[in-house]
Amino acid sequence: MVENFIETFAKIIANQPDEIRVQRHDIDESFSEIVLYARREDAGKLIGKEGKMISAIKTLISGCKAKENRSFRVMVKIIEEEND
């Protein structure tokens, strides 16, 4: 659920939404890593000035976790992909 939310949110913000990809890696039962792949200009938009956008995304993830009644940790990583 969390990765679907992040993908949908990122595609709304991105200039090139078709280039957004999200992968979830469950490290163990209580920790997941979500990797968001985006073009350089979109990665900048997703991080935001002074990291405010990514902080907002993390806050919304906390709400998703609460809705699922799960207490697990999530790390969000944004990886810039090269333009072709």
Domain with 67 in it: 2-81
Cα distances (Å, whole numbers) of residue 37 to 4, 7, 13: 14, 10, 13
Q: How much is the pLDDT for 64?
A: 72
Give the CATH number of the domain where residue 21 resides: 3.30.300.20
The structural domain count of the chain equals: 1
CA 19 – CA 28 distance, rounded (Å) = 28
Q: How much is the pLDDT for 81?
A: 85
CA 64 – CA 66 distance, rounded (Å) = 5
pLDDT digit string (tens) for 36-73? 999 998 999 999 899 898 888 888 888 776 666 566 78
Question: Is the torsion defined by CA of 63, 22, 43, 29 positive or negative?
Answer: positive
